[in-house]
Amino acid sequence: MQASKRLFTKLTLIPVELLFRPFLLVSKKRLIWQVSEDQKRRLQIQWKQIFSRSKGISISFYKDKELIQKIKSETQLQNKNNLTRTAAYLAFFNKHPEIEWSFLAHMVSRNAGYFMTDLKGEFLPHILEDTFSEALYLMLEKGNSMIFEDAFPQLLLYEESKKRGVSLFHLCRYFHVSAFMEGVWELFFQGDHTPLLPVAQIINEQNHIEKNLVQTIEYKRLLGKITYRIQEWLELSQIIFPILPLKYTVGKKMKKFENLEQRIQLGQHLYALLFKSTNFHSVYHFAQMHPHTGSRTDYDKNIFTIIKPMNNEHLKEKLSFFKTKSNQKVYSPYLDQLWEQNYNGPFFSSDWFNENDMTLQKMKLTVKPAAPIWLSYWAGLHKIESAYLIKKYYRLYKKNRNL
pLDDT band at 117 (very low <50, low <70, confident <90, very high): very high
pLDDT in the model for residue 57: 46
396 or 88: which carries more pLDDT confidence?
88
- Which range among 42-51, 287-296, 313-322, 375-384 shows the weakest confidence by mean pLDDT? 313-322
pLDDT band at 228 (very low <50, low <70, confident <90, very high): confident
197 or 221: which carries more pLDDT confidence?
197
User: Measured between alpha carbons, how far is 227 from 268 in angstroms, rounded to an integer?
Assistant: 28
Predicted confidence (pLDDT) at residue 301 exceeds the cutoff of 50: yes
Run of H or E including 48: helix 37-54
pLDDT band at 30 (very low <50, low <70, confident <90, very high): confident
Tell me if residue 19 falls in helix, strand or coil: helix
Residues in Cβ contact with 124 at an 8 Å cutoff, skipping those fewer than 6 apart = 118, 133, 236, 384
pLDDT band at 315 (very low <50, low <70, confident <90, very high): low
pLDDT band at 54 (very low <50, low <70, confident <90, very high): low
User: Measured between alpha carbons, how far is 109 from 358 in angstroms, rounded to an integer?
Assistant: 28
pLDDT in the model for residue 26: 57
Predicted confidence (pLDDT) at residue 2 exceeds the cutoff of 50: no
Nearest to 227 by CA among 130, 324, 318, 149: 130
Q: What are phi and psi of 344, to 5 degrees?
A: -130, 35
**Please, which residues bridge with residue 319 across strands?**
324
| Highest averaged pLDDT of the listed ranges 14-18, 156-160, 358-362 | 156-160
Helices (H) and strands (E) in the chain, counts: 13, 6
Contact 259, 215 (CB under 8 A): no
Contact 378, 240 (CB under 8 A): no
Contact 185, 197 (CB under 8 A): yes
Region 59-69 average pLDDT: 79
**Please, which residues bridge with residue 364 across strands?**
34
Region 170-176 average pLDDT: 93
Give pTM, 2 decimals.
0.92
Region 238-264 average pLDDT: 91
Predicted confidence (pLDDT) at residue 119 exceeds the cutoff of 60: yes
pLDDT in the model for residue 261: 92
pLDDT band at 286 (very low <50, low <70, confident <90, very high): very high
Please give the residue range of the domain that contains residue 196. Answer: 2-400
Predicted confidence (pLDDT) at residue 19 exceeds the cutoff of 60: no
Q: 372-375 long-range CB contacts below 8 Å, 24 or more apart?
A: 372/20, 373/238, 373/240, 373/249, 373/250, 373/251, 373/252, 373/253, 374/240, 374/246, 374/247, 374/248, 374/249, 374/322, 375/13, 375/16, 375/17, 375/20
Nearest to 294 by CA among 117, 141, 133, 143: 117
Total number of domains constituting the chain: 1
Contact 184, 43 (CB under 8 A): yes
pLDDT in the model for residue 36: 95
Region 240-257 average pLDDT: 90
Run of H or E including 367: strand 364-367
pLDDT in the model for residue 1: 40
